[in-house]
Amino acid sequence: QVEEERRAAHLPAVTLDARRVEVCANVGSPDEAEMAAQAGADGIGLLRSEFLFLERSAAPGEDDQAHEYQASMRALGGKPVIVRTLDIGADKQLPYLPLPAVANPALGVRGVRLWQRLPQLLETQLRALLRVEPLGSLRIMLPMVSEVSELVAVRRHLDSVAQELGLTVRPQLGVMVEVPSAALCAASLAEEADFLSIGTNDLTQYTLAMDREDPDLAARADVLHPAVLKLVQATVEGAAGRCPVGVCGAAAGDPLASLVLVALGVDELSVEPARVPAVKAAVRRLDAGRLAAELPALLGLTDAAAVRARLTSWQTAQQ
């Protein structure tokens, strides 16, 4: 059965009620991109570019970066590759880019906000990204966006660099939805973005005000909390078909949560490369419309444990 799953992973994943769901992979290096391609991923849904900046004494230059991005693009052979711009701050730090100590780093200058402080870093990364081929398969994604002005500013910058380089093709530019304000204002983001991708790890942390690293809260910091699910729903409804909505947090690979995400209307799930075959198989067994009919009841429950329990009995009843 596992062998069958592995072979079928190279085919599109379609639900029982004919909804196509892209199943992509989260990667942190060209080697992992290779694994994703071998596992049957429909693309890279999240390339965490931090890997390039770690374990070195200075930030990588434009040539080094372009070379690494190109290697991941090559591994995927023309399938879409979403590269997230540097997401540093809070849980992710670099010794050569010391950020001033602040009381609440998770709420401080991190992700896309970093570009006001270190604009040269963005400039170099954008220039490196604009050198990859084919540009039509590249998607650039901004982390920790909390309002549309941040996207507009980067779009303007990207356009001016592309124009200076004489490029006629532009890569798609999208944003992560990992802050409640982004989910609630998804309509304005979708007007300007080519795609949205929900980062459920941070979205859960910021919605529940529970540190994602705190072991004492790990059991309760669950994406299936009705409040988090309502924000996923708000994102899909806000996008209203104007641009695709994916999920690249760990929830996309969670056997129960992934089903709910599809029922809520997300178009793409991005998971660890090794999970691609199992997630595609689960999508094929799902009647998304039937689970969607359960959503009002699920969203009306009081906590994540109740949602998990109800989903488990729903799933058993389906078999």
> By the criterion CB under 6 A, which residues form the site for ligand PEP?
46, 48, 87, 178, 199-202, 248-249
Indicate whether 202 belongs to the interface with Mg ion (CB under 5 A).
yes
Q: Which residues contact 142 (CB under 8 A, 6 or more apart)?
A: 84, 85, 111, 112, 150, 151, 154, 173, 174, 175, 176
CB of 137 to Mg ion, least distance (A): 23
CB of 247 to ligand PEP, least distance (A): 8
For ligand PEP, the closer of residues 13 and 271 by Cβ is: 271
Other CB atoms within a 10 A radius of the CB of residue 54 amount to 12
Indicate whether 199 belongs to the interface with Mg ion (CB under 5 A).
yes
Torsion 119-125-127-129 (CA) sign: negative
CB of 161 to ligand PEP, least distance (A): 25
Residue 254 binds what, of Mg ion, ligand PEP, none (CB under 5 to 8 Å, by partner type)?
none
Residue 76 binds what, of ligand PEP, Mg ion, none (CB under 5 to 8 Å, by partner type)?
none
CB of 143 to Mg ion, least distance (A): 6
Residue 68 binds what, of ligand PEP, Mg ion, none (CB under 5 to 8 Å, by partner type)?
none
Residue 249 binds what, of Mg ion, ligand PEP, none (CB under 5 to 8 Å, by partner type)?
ligand PEP
- E-strand spans in 259-304? 268-271
Binding window for Mg ion (CB under 5 A); candidates: 98-106, 172-180, 258-266, 305-313? 172-180
Q: Of 247, 251, 253, give the one whose Cα is nearest residue 221.
A: 251
Pairwise CA distance, residues 73 & 280, whole Å? 22
Q: How far is CA 167 from CA 1, 130, 265, in A?
A: 47, 9, 35
Q: Which two tokens stand for residue 51?
A: 């890997």
Residues contacting Mg ion: total by CB under 5 A: 3
CB of 264 to Mg ion, least distance (A): 19
Q: Are 189 and 238 in contact (CB under 8 A)?
A: yes
Binding window for Mg ion (CB under 5 A); candidates: 3-11, 65-73, 161-169, 178-186? 178-186
